[in-house]
Chains A and B, each alone.
Chain A
Amino acid sequence: MNPFPEFPALTLLPEGAVFLRETATLIVADVHLGKSASFRARGLPVPEGDSARDFLRLKDLAIKHQAAQLLVAGDLFHAASGLTAELKEALAGFLQTLGVPVILVLGNHDAKIRQLPLACVPHLDLEGGLRVIHDPAEASGSALHLAGHLHPVVKVPDGLRTSLHLPCFLFRGRTMVLPAFGSFTGGAVVTAAPGDRIFTALRDQVVELPPALLTRPGGSRGGRAPR
């Protein structure tokens, strides 16, 4: 779906990515590659598989939309301890089979890694006044921003005792915050402020959630936010 009349070429994808049709640009945020490896490095038994799965999901998405470039709005990697030799090898293989340029906008997690195996920029300006950043707090000016960092999740109370927790796009101010793309990433529940718009995947499309669905009186009982 496209929430912005001024950017007719922009699409929110149900996989949690943004696609710009004119330049065939695919944008994702917060992949956190190697997260489980960094857990294991610290003696926490979490199985491997998330990074391989995320490479596959990225590749499928790029092929499906015939993307000409892939932008990552920060936190492609999780931590230095997770950037193992195996991961570097898998990354090289991924870049090769993908065959399109990948540009990383530096996220706070990436910034802690000394030698990134990938070119990166602090932020990126695209045609038509779109700017890609990592932390939404760094948005400035009147340009439309695409960002990550928050891992937004929306809580939809069902009026009974439970509520749904869904990864979402959050549009606040002039910034569209993307959901975290990685398979092993948690979410933070966002509280919708007046003027916020929230989009989430429903089967194979993205829908905007009407505000009435988010603020059901008394409906917030019982559910707990994932940390």
Chain B
Amino acid sequence: MPISPLQPFFSAKGWQPFEFQEKTWQAYREGKSGLLHAPTGLGKTLAVYLGPLAEGMESMDRKGGCQVLWLTPLRALAADTLRALREPLASLAPHLEAEARTGDTPAALRARLRKKLPHTLVTTPESLSLMLTHADFSEKLGGLRCVIVDEWHELLGSKRGVQTELCLARLRAWFPGLRIWGLSATLGNLSEARHALLGSAFPGSVEITADLYKPLVIETLIPKEIDRFPWSGHIGTRLASQVADEIEKANATLIFTNTRSQTEIWFQELSTLRPRWKGKIAMHHGSLDRAERDLAEQGLRDGSLKCVVATSSLDLGVDFSPVDQVIQIGSPKGVARLLQRAGRSGHQPGGISRIVGVPTHAMELVEFSAARDAAVARTIESRSPVKKPLDLLAQHLITCAIGVPFEPAAMRREIESTYAFFELSDPEWDWALGFISNGGKVLAAYPNYQKAQLVDGSYCVTEKRLITRHRLSIGTISSDPAVSIKFANGRSLGTVEESFISRIRVGSSFVFGGKQLTLIRFHQRTATVKVAARAGKGQVAVWGGSKMPLSNELSHAIARRLQGLGEPALEMAAIEPILAIQRRWSRVPDDAALLVEHSRSREGEHLFFYPLAGRLVHEGLAALLAFRLSRDTGETIQTTQNDYGFSLTAKRGLVLDEEILRGHLRAEDLLSDLISCMNTAELARRQFREIARVSGLILQTPPGQKDRSEREVQASASLLFEVLDRYDPDNLLLVQARREILEKQLELTRLSQVMHRLQDAPLHLVETENLSPMAFPLWADRLSATLSAGDAATRLEAMLQRLNAVADHQKTAL
């Protein structure tokens, strides 16, 4: 391809285009769509952007209108992206404009963008959806040539990905020649990712790989005294002083933790260890106020900060050149995540990405060494695209109907052009149309209901109140009710989950944003605080968040390490004394066979299983075995699980031979047994919150703006779930809730694969005198164990009985 129009830009910079950049321009020029995967910081922005830009320069006679849409998964990235796009624009085509429109965009700019769109518009999937509700949007887009979806791997695998697919289908229908380009980090299923992005435009598309890898170094901090190193836990500040030494050595360090509370704890710990770092060390997590986060990001960019402790909130995109070291506290749980985080360092030309793993318990030494193996072998996790989320379909249909009335047959073709919905069935389509309009035949239990109207064969929404309400509810990410934390003078510190703050009494203190705070008042989603008078150890704010299970790929790499395979590694040498104990008292588990340990304690009997398949799968397996065993014995069984295995505890009845164990591990009846034992009704009810929001069953009210007129139509998700379950049990949203909960809570697909593997694997049943090093964490976790529970009445009865028993006991004691 002639890159002549772009030459001035490269010459001015003294750069040579990379091969993958030229390839991308060439493919773009040929009218192709595609997916580009390249590590960050290697010019992938220029690769996808300069093609459409060159085209725009050549046809300068064209009148206005937006020609390039740039979708970014994070609002926070929009500003950085805009900066990166304006650079070539300024030197090559100063007459062309680029702007960003996200939820953070000031009202004035938003109003201006409503009138006229710039040549390049940076936006998020949610904002794009919102723009689809404006009747003149297609006109404003004018000669749209190209949509670029940044960080597609982040969207893929979530409903936001499907929202993107649906929006792209709409744009493809408006602009048949549209080219779509995605940018992605390495994934195990790149071809599927491309298919999901492009839908029916997939044939003829290309996949371009930037075969350039920054040198990557993965190291681990080895605890000095392995004998005293904990076998379990997750806080792991034991290595804090070693971490401080590492920070000392580097220029600027980015510390990643896995949870927001861990971020707070590590920030506290490092501030205490090195008081002179005050002002040179900051914290970054999703609950902190935007301004605080901006300060931390700015400090990283200009090199004024020595260290920032962060959660996944800093995983993405942003380019922090001064950072030359990344520290990962605790297991990264996945290979892709480790690579992504390592890639945050070494942004300087010729730089090396360096990541230092800090184990929080002994087994994480194995995890880091396994993660290195998998990273070298490039065994990266896949992300499965979400299929047929009908809640989102309902939302999208209303979005479209508000914008431009749609004719159902044409709309169905458009919806089916996406990867998510290409297998949409007639009943599902009819249901969706009924759900958004007047109930229809399939929804007979909905008299007098109407949302969209069918006028002259097209669906439209005209009622103003419905339109306003829908615009408020666009988006798919659901969150727990958040409480904002503010000082009395109104300065905002950030947000915290309601469940945490409601446990703090007025007058007592807690740690948030690195500050010791005292709660003054908690009223209507605002917690007013002041700085605590006395410094002391307060409760650290805990956020819901989900604990990530160990990925399949990393689990396999760990199993290989435990089998003794692979190059010698420092981590394995360090943990050897513990593995030796495990070997002496029992065996070292791996995934070729199933190790089961049986043990007795004062509490009764314990069985420990080690399938090495990740926490969620173990949770499902534990519940399943407890259910099957107690069906035979009638004993109450308590279960715990972690990423390596699970335990069953009962007063008696766990002395089993191999044959009985095998019988309980069979894969048949898996689904029906799981549904019986997992209290799926309760779980599905919880999952329904998101579905109810997305599908428009629950009204969205921004905090502090309770519309009184909407109050009489407020209902909780669980109540709606009950009502639907009772009067419209075939409602497809309920089906979706059940399916989502099995996949999300139990990784059903993976669980069933593991079941089939275990069925045929050799089984080693070992009687242990003492709890083995791998059994200990499972035993120690028993305080937060789950009991196989009955219905509400049974549980209440049991509680009353326990209480009476205690009272009787006390009486006799007197």
Which A residues form the contact surface with B (CB < 8 A)? 36-50, 53, 78-79, 84, 86, 109, 156, 158, 160-162, 164, 166, 183-186, 200, 202-203, 207, 210, 212-213, 220-222, 224, 226-227
Contact = CB atoms under 8 A, between A and B. Distances in A.
- Interface bin, chain B: 35 or more
B799 A47 contact: no
A42 B449 CA distance: 8
Contacts of A226: 716, 718-719
Nearest to A85: B448
Given A45-B449, A161-B784, A184-B723, A213 B799 contact: yes
Contacts of A84: 447-448
B217 interface: no
Interface string B423-446: 000000000000100010001011
B621 to A, nearest CB: 19
Nearest to B797: A202
Contacts of A44: 696-697, 699, 713
A45 B697 contact: yes
B796 A46 contact: no
B793 A202 contact: yes
Closest CB pairs A-B (n = 8): A49-B727, A40-B449, A47-B445, A47-B727, A47-B728, A43-B451, A227-B716, A226-B716
A156 B447 CA distance: 38
Given A224-B499, A226-B718, 17 more contacts: A39-B715, A47-B445, A47-B723, A48-B445, A49-B445, A158-B799, A160-B784, A160-B787, A161-B784, A186-B716, A210-B800, A210-B803, A212-B803, A220-B503, A221-B503, A224-B480, A226-B716
A213 to B, nearest CB: 6
B800 A47 contact: no
A202 B713 contact: no
Contacts of B723: 36, 46-47, 49-50, 183-184
Contacts of B448: 37, 40-41, 84
Interface in B457-488: 463, 465-466, 469, 480
Contacts of A49: 445, 723, 726-727
Given A40-B447, A41-B448, A202 B714 contact: no
A47 B724 contact: yes
A156 to B, nearest CB: 7
A158 B794 CA distance: 12
Interface of B: 435, 439, 443, 445-451, 463, 465-466, 469, 480, 498-499, 503, 696-697, 699, 712-716, 718-720, 723-724, 726-728, 731, 784-787, 789, 792-793, 795-797, 799-800, 803
Nearest to B447: A48
Contacts of B463: 43
A213 B800 contact: yes
20 contacts: A37-B448, A38-B712, A40-B449, A47-B443, A47-B445, A48-B447, A49-B445, A49-B727, A53-B726, A109-B712, A160-B785, A183-B723, A183-B726, A200-B796, A210-B803, A213-B803, A220-B503, A226-B716, A226-B719, A227-B716
Given A47-B446, A47-B728, A184-B723, A164 B716 contact: no
B455 to A, nearest CB: 16
A135 to B, nearest CB: 16
B685 to A, nearest CB: 10
B693 to A, nearest CB: 12
A184 B785 contact: no
B803 A46 contact: no
Contact of B439 (A37, A45, A186, A213): A45
B233 to A, nearest CB: 19
A113 B726 CA distance: 28
Nearest to A189: B502
B221 to A, nearest CB: 32
A158 B795 contact: yes
B720 A43 contact: no
A200 B795 CA distance: 14
B803 A186 contact: no
B499 to A, nearest CB: 6
A46 B697 contact: yes
B394 to A, nearest CB: 9
Contacts of A166: 792, 796
Contacts of A210: 800, 803
A43 B445 contact: no
Given A47-B728, A213-B803, A186 B796 contact: no
A126 to B, nearest CB: 30
B784 A48 contact: no
Given A44-B697, A202-B797, A212-B803, A50 B446 contact: no
Contact of B796 (A40, A43, A202): A202
